[in-house]
């Protein structure tokens, strides 16, 4: 393994680059001193001489050292480093919040406050782990998203600036010139948008971006999982026979649609503004578990009694959550009832307390010439799931929920609204689980399920799950073997649930 906790093994990294080993895509970047360019390990360009190569753990570190992103392999399309989810340390949580736009909205000072540390301490940790500070990481994230927008769409440059998270067009132009040596317009004139990109009206009618992932990726299983749990008016799917071909959900200002494509996921955004685009991209990646490392999961679980399940579905991923609070309410509502029953109750909650995605509109404007399936799904998701503030005071009587369940939802909403519980990844998962367990009505299964999907803890385990227990018994899994599945127990749970569903030995969990 060329990536260690704090440093890179030069020989191992150079071997990975020479072999163009896709397992390391997103784990490190290769900078070439003779060209001033940094690349992904899979770049098709000729392998540079060892003496001309430098390796960096993060694209921001390469850019801070004066290197520019390769236009051929496009580092902006790299999947994220899955190691941060495994470690779940402060730097990993900070990277998640940066991806979610916290640094853009509140600056590094606000980021440090969310993490309950000083700016100085945060910078020291980033410098030790990544070789550069959080400000540089946030800046690089904005620049790479802007580069992708300039390359793949014809969105006006002014809109690109704000969509990527810059505070002004002047700031955007200055950052591009300083880091890349050219203005935004120069990049567009040199390469132009890719075919199929949408035009300037994309602010309200739709723009499409590519979301990369590591292979193999079982998109079919992921979309079927989400389809079975789609909340009416918030989520919708398109089908072709037994397959789910697209997933759409409401977001502030409109909707997003996710559709599998060759080697990537196609994200189509239809909103009344693009200033939340970086946050949308980050949350879609977490929802679909696009940064996972299937090779590492296969290596660990393939040496256990789960080997046949892993071999049958090597690309199975853990479905995440677009919104942590929404997922937590879903877990509470789904306790001890069927998936279909939970969907019905969640739909009633949305009808009672949800807000329109586009105020004053029942749907989202369509894009002329766009896929009719995506257009239809977009119009079926006019409502946002209620926020914690709304549910804390909402009247949930008469919806079919028990008195105890209503009390649990209200207590959860109050804890999230007050900041006592953070489901966006700012706190250590173990601390968040401990806080959830203090809420009456939330037990180990519910807390574990929330950790598995909302907190992105790859080692989360829904303790006491009946389907898991029965499936393990049928497969002859001996007590205590779950310890051998660390740190990938969440993936083990998905394989067991999927096996139970495929063999009609159980039901999918909520």
Question: Catalytic residue numbers?
Answer: 39, 465
Alpha helix ranges (H) inside 58-180: 59-64, 83-87, 90-99, 102-115, 119-130, 134-152, 157-163, 169-180
274 with 459: CB under 8 angstroms? no
d(CA 103, CA 113): 11
374 with 246: CB under 8 angstroms? yes
Structure tokens, 148 = 């992708």
Q: Which residues contact 15 (CB under 8 A, 6 or more apart)?
A: 2, 21
d(CA 207, CA 267): 8
Alpha helix ranges (H) inside 20-68: 59-64
d(CA 484, CA 487): 8
Q: Give helix 102-115 / helix 134-152 axis angle, nearest 10°.
A: 150
d(CA 146, CA 177): 13
341 with 228: CB under 8 angstroms? no
CA 135 to chain centre: 21
Q: E strand or H helix at 448, and its extent?
A: helix 444-453
Q: Which residues contact 28 (CB under 8 A, 6 or more apart)?
A: 2, 3, 8, 13, 41, 55, 56, 57
> Cα–Cα–Cα angle for 302, 10, 289, nearest 5°?
40
Letter string b/e over residues 438-453, b meaning 16 or more CB atoms within 10 A of that residue's CB: ebebbeebbbbbbbbb
Q: Which of 27, 133, 6, 135 is nearest to 81 (CA)?
A: 27
- The answer to whether the bond into 122 is cis (omega within 30° of 0) is no
The DSSP code sequence of 173-225 is HHHHHHHHSS-HHHHHHHH-PPTT---TTHHHH-EEEEEE-PSP--HHHHHHH
């Amino acid at each position: 393994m060329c990536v260690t906790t704090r440093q890179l093994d030069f020989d191992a990294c150079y071997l990975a680059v020479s072999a163009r080993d896709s397992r390391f895509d997103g784990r490190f970047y290769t900078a070439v001193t003779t060209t001033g360019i940094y690349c992904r390990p899979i770049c098709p360009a000729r392998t540079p001489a060892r003496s001309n190569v430098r390796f960096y753990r993060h694209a921001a570190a390469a850019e801070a050292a004066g290197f520019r992103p390769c236009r051929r392999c496009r580092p902006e399309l790299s999947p994220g480093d899955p190691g941060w989810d495994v470690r779940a340390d402060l730097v990993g949580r900070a990277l998640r919040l940066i991806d979610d736009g916290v640094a853009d909205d509140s600056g590094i000072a606000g980021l440090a406050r969310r993490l309950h540390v000083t700016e100085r301490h945060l910078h020291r940790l980033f410098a030790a782990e990544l070789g550069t500070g959080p400000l540089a990481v946030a800046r690089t994230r904005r620049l790479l998203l802007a580069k992708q927008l300039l390359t793949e769409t014809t969105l006006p440059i002014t809109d690109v600036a704000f969509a990527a998270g810059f505070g002004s067009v002047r700031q955007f132009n200055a950052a591009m010139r300083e880091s890349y040596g050219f203005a935004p317009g120069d990049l567009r004139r040199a390469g132009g948008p890719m075919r199929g990109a949408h035009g300037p009206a994309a602010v309200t009618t739709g723009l499409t971006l590519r979301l990369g992932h590591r292979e193999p990726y079982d998109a079919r299983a992921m979309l079927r999982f989400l389809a079975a749990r789609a909340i009416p008016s918030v989520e919708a799917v398109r089908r072709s026979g037994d397959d789910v071909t697209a997933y759409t959900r409401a977001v502030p200002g409109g909707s997003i649609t996710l559709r599998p494509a060759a080697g990537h996921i196609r994200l189509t955004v239809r909103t009344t503004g693009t200033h939340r685009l970086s946050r949308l991209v980050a949350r879609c990646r977490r929802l679909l578990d696009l940064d996972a490392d299937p090779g590492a999961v296969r290596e660990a679980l393939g040496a256990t009694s789960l080997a046949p399940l892993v071999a049958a579905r090597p690309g199975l991923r853990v479905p995440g959550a677009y919104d942590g609070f929404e997922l937590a309410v879903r877990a509470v509502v789904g306790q001890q009832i069927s998936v279909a029953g939970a969907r019905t109750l969640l739909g009633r909650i949305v009808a009672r307390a949800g807000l329109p995605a586009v105020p004053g509109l029942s749907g989202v404007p369509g894009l002329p010439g766009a896929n009719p399936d995506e257009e239809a799904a977009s119009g079926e998701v006019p409502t946002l799931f209620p926020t914690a503030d709304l549910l804390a005071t909402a009247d949930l009587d008469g919806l079919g929920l028990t008195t105890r369940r209503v009390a649990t939802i209200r207590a959860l909403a109050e804890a999230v609204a007050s900041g006592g519980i953070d489901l966006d990844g700012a706190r250590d998962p173990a601390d968040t689980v401990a806080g959830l367990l203090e809420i009456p009505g939330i037990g180990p299964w519910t807390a574990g399920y929330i950790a598995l999907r909302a907190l992105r803890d790859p080692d989360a385990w829904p303790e006491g799950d009946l389907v898991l227990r029965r499936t393990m018994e049928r497969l002859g899994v001996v007590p205590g073997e779950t310890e051998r599945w660390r740190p990938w127990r969440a993936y083990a749970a998905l394989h067991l649930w999927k096996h139970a569903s495929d063999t009609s030995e159980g039901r999918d969990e909520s």
